[in-house]
DNA sequence: AAAAAAT
């Protein structure tokens, strides 16, 4: 495969195929189980105490004082309580994490002796994490939970099974809203995938040991995942070989498992990393960044499943929720941190999290994060804090599209990466029926009511609007019209957002009005109908919206209200419809003609100030190099868009000096 | 123009 010049600048990228040589300093030989021997710090017994009573049970959550918000990931956890000091028998808790100090991924074997010392500070960690546990005792459900695993002397000790935890994490097979397995595997196999890059490992076809850790596979079975999705088939050996990955894929393609499986597998096999024992900061091994709180929460929920009974403690951090609870959770163990960028920066500034032990960095929905202006924060986190450099970590980047800014990010954050382009389940045309209605703004309400009355769909209905105000307004209107509706948008409190999402997921309110906050990434099973009450100005957002339905091989319906206010996207819209083999109504064609006659060069562009006449001419813009520009993937909407990157033609990377209208593009168009 | 995200 051709490589661009700026790839080869990273000249000491590791060779693939050697699973042990990609972290520096390199280990000598055969250290997988032996080299990572860690110091037994004794006192493993308190593991039970540390996590006693954790249940993740909503009933317990409901008993919490109503005045105090507890985010969903902490519900039922004893830490939901007050912030007072812990009990005296907590003084030694926290140490049973059994971190290896000295020996580890970052140290040579002989360094191990340095780990013999116990740091009293280290033990102190436990004591200030324990405050909230008082509640558990008060509520009288003190219960030993020995389902937490640990790592000791190079061996992964898996915790005991706990039926209650399993029910909470994995649900039962009857739980409709927990079904990530209503998956049509034949359709999954039809997802087109293209991988390119030097020495791309052969994809696996099953969840087997090796390459995956046996305990991980037992968790995968508990979660009722039977066969790897295409993105997983590739990501497992790629990450296993310590390679970086740039994947154009979307939630629904099994992306979350695509990074969690191989990363957790490696952690289970290799054990913890040496930790700076003098610091009370958390030193996670894995950092996962995602753009919205709900997405972060969703990833965290998955991480809990696959880390079950292992030594790996997942933790979560996002805004809008009580930071104290998050800090306490982090203090109790934080090996895999899922976070939104803003809250993570906050934690770093508070010196509660160090990134110095990061071995795996995952950027999920990277294009979305840039859209939302997270680039400075992401660059700060990745480049200006204490995270190991690009050679010292494995980096996985996921993005639905591969526009210019994402290419820059890939250039800066990844080393000699494998580029993966993943289509969606089946072709969208067969899964999602797209309808477009011409509706003037003032008629939208009544047309919506008509549709809701007349359209029988088996599952949930998600209605997208453009403004938060409209979301409130419309959900009130629907409620007033006796439709069980809720709404989600950025001005609602995090608690309200989570409640809304939960009541939608579970079908208590099968109609949800949403802004862009819910357009991407959210994996809600059973959405049958997506209504674009307002069309977005960015056609990519439309594509993502309708991707909330037709998931997992099911069919879906997408209805859009179109009027002349949307003519800025009419051309893109028509293209989408055509590429998905959908009917294009006549009014769209005629409005497209009007729009074209106004658009001059036909290149208004969606960037700033461009007027927005739906131009898309610079889709194929390239900077004198090959036609590397087009990413591909993206739901398979952009027919045939599975172009390799870097191209065999040897395209050059975009120049920083590219004309302004190309610089800040957030899409291909 | 709006949305999202740290307080």
Q: How far apart are CA A273 and CA A646, in angstroms?
A: 34
Asked whether the predicted pLDDT for residue A463 surpasses 90, the reply is yes
The CA–C1' separation of A89 and B3, in angstroms, is 47
Helix (H) or strand (E) holding A513: strand A511-514
Q: How far is the CA of A467 from the C1' of B1 (A)?
A: 9
b/e A572-593 (16+ beta carbons within 10 angstroms → b):
bbbbbbebbebebbeebeebbe
- Full set of structural domains in chain A with CATH: 3-50 (no CATH), 119-176+193-423 (3.40.50.300), 432-599 (3.40.50.300), 625-669 (no CATH)
In whole angstroms, what separates CA A558 from the centre of its chain?
A: 24
- As a whole number, mean pLDDT of residues A48-72 equals 32
Among positive and negative, which fits the CA dihedral A300, A303, A309, A315?
negative
A278: DSSP letter? T
What's the rounded mean pLDDT across residues A624-628? Answer: 31
Mean pLDDT over A591-617 rounds to: 44
Backbone angles phi, psi at A409, to 5 degrees: -60, -45
**How far is A249 from A256, CA to CA, in rounded Å?**
10
- Tally Cβ neighbours within 10 Å of residue A388: 16
Instruction: Tell whether the model's pLDDT for residue A64 goes beyond 50.
Output: no
CA–CA separation, A69 and A61 (whole Å) = 10
Which pLDDT belongs to residue A345?
95
Rounded, the Å distance between the CA of A299 and C1' of B5 is 17
As a whole number, mean pLDDT of residues A133-161 equals 65
Strand, helix or coil for residue A355: coil
Q: Per residue in A194-219, pLDDT tens?
A: 888 888 999 999 999 889 999 999 99
More confident residue, A14 or A398: A398
Greatest CA separation found in chain A? 77
Distance CA A194, CA A333 (A): 38
CA-CA distances (angstroms) from residue A578 to A16, A424, A430, A582, A583?
A: 41, 17, 13, 6, 7
What confidence tens digit (pLDDT) does each residue in A289-347 have?
Answer: 999 999 999 999 999 999 999 999 999 999 999 999 999 999 999 999 999 999 999 99
Residue A199 CA to B6 C1' — how many Å? 41
- Residue A106 has, within 13 A of its CA and on its CB side, a CA count of 20
Asked whether the predicted pLDDT for residue A567 surpasses 50, the reply is: yes
Token couple for A215: 């305990």
Res A137 pLDDT > 90? no
Confidence tier at A550 by pLDDT (50, 70, 90): confident
Q: What is the pLDDT of residue A427?
A: 41
Q: Is the peptide bond before A646 cis (omega within 30 degrees of 0)?
A: yes
Beta-carbon contacts of A442 under 8 Å, excluding residues fewer than 6 positions away, are none
Helices (H) and strands (E) in chain A, counts: 24, 16
Among A314-318, A368-372, A412-416, A552-556, which is the least confidently predicted range?
A552-556
Write down the pTM of the prediction.
0.66
Could you tell me the CA-to-CA distances from A60 to A72, A172, A178 in Å, in that order? Answer: 12, 19, 20
pLDDT at A418: 93
Q: Which nucleotide is nearest to A466 (CA to C1')?
A: B2
Instruction: Report the protein residue whose CA lies nearest the C1' of nucleotide B2.
Output: A467
- What's the rounded mean pLDDT across residues A355-374? 92
How far is the C-alpha of A262 from the C-alpha of A157, rounded, in Å? 19
The residues close to strand B, meaning Cβ under 7 A, are A 291-294, 318-321, 323, 339-346, 349, 371-374, 466-469, 489-491, 515-517, 537-538, 606
Residue A173 to residue A511: CA distance in whole angstroms? 24
Which nt sits closest to A467, CA to C1'?
Answer: B2
């Amino acid at each position: 495969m051709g490589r661009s010049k700026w790839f080869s600048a990273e000249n000491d990228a590791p060779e693939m195929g050697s699973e042990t040589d990609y972290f520096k300093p390199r280990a000598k030989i055969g250290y997988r189980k032996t080299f990572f021997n860690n110091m037994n710090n004794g006192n493993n017994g308190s593991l039970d105490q540390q996590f006693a009573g954790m249940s993740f049970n909503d009933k317990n959550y409901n008993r919490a004082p109503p005045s105090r918000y507890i985010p969903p990931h902490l519900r039922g956890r004893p830490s939901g309580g007050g912030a007072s000091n812990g009990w005296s028998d907590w003084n030694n808790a926290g140490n049973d994490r059994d971190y290896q100090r000295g020996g580890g991924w970052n140290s040579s074997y002989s360094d191990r002796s340095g780990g013999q010392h116990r740091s009293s500070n280290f033990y102190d960690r436990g004591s200030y994490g324990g405050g909230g546990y008082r509640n558990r005792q008060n509520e009288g459900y003190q219960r030993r939970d020995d389902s937490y695993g640990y790592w000791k002397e190079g061996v992964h000790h898996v915790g005991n099974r706990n039926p209650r935890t399993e029910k909470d994490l994995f649900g039962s097979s009857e739980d409709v809203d927990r079904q990530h397995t209503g998956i049509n595997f034949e359709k999954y196999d039809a997802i087109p995938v293209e991988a390119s890059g030097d020495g791309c490992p052969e994809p696996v076809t099953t969840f087997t040991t090796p390459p995956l850790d046996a305990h991980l596979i037992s968790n995968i079975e508990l979660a009722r995942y039977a066969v790897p999705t295409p993105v997983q088939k590739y990501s497992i050996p790629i990450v296993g070989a310590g390679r970086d990955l740039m994947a154009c894929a979307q939630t629904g393609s099994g992306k979350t498992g695509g990074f969690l499986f191989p990363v957790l597998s490696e952690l289970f096999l290799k054990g913890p990393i040496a930790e700076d024992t003098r610091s009370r900061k958390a030193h996670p091994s894995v950092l996962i960044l995602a753009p919205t709180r709900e997405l972060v929460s969703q990833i965290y929920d998955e991480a809990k499943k696959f880390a079950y009974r292992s030594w790996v403690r997942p933790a979560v951090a996002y805004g809008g929720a009580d930071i104290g609870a998050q800090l306490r959770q982090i203090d109790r163990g934080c090996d895999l941190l899922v976070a939104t960028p803003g809250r993570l920066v906050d934690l770093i500034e508070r010196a509660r999290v160090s990134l110095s032990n990061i071995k795996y960095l995952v950027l999920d929905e990277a294009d979305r994060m840039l859209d939302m202006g997270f680039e400075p924060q992401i660059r700060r986190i990745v480049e200006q804090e204490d995270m190991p450099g690009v050679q010292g970590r494995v980096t996985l980047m996921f993005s639905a599209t591969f526009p210019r800014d994402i290419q820059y990010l890939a250039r800066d954050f990844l080393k000699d990466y494998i580029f993966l382009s993943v289509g969606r389940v089946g072709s969208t045309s067969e899964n999602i029926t797209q309808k477009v209605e011409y509706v003037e703004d003032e008629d939208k309400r009544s047309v919506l009511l008509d549709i809701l009355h007349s359209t029988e769909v088996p599952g949930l209905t998600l209605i997208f609007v453009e403004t938060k105000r409209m979301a409130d307004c419309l959900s009130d209107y629907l409620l007033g019209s006796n439709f069980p509706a809720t709404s989600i948008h950025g001005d609602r409190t995090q608690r309200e957002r989570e409640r809304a999402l939960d009541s939608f997921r579970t079908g208590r309110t099968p109609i949800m009005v949403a802004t862009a906050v819910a357009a991407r990434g959210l994996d809600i099973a059973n959405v049958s109908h997506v209504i674009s009450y307002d069309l977005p100005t960015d056609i990519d957002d439309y594509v993502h919206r309708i991707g909330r339905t037709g998931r997992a091989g099911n069919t879906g319906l997408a209805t859009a209200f179109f009027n002349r206010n949307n003519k800025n996207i009419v051309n893109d819209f028509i293209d989408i419809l055509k590429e998905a083999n959908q009917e294009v109504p006549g009014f769209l064609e005629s409005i497209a003609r009007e729009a074209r006659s106004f658009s001059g060069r036909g290149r208004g562009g969606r960037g700033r100030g461009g007027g927005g006449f739906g131009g898309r001419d610079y889709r194929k813009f390239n900077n004198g190099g090959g036609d590397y520009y087009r990413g591909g993937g993206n739901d398979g909407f952009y027919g045939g868009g599975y172009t390799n990157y870097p191209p065999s033609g040897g395209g050059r990377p975009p120049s920083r000096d590219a004309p302004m209208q190309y610089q800040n593009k957030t899409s291909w168009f």
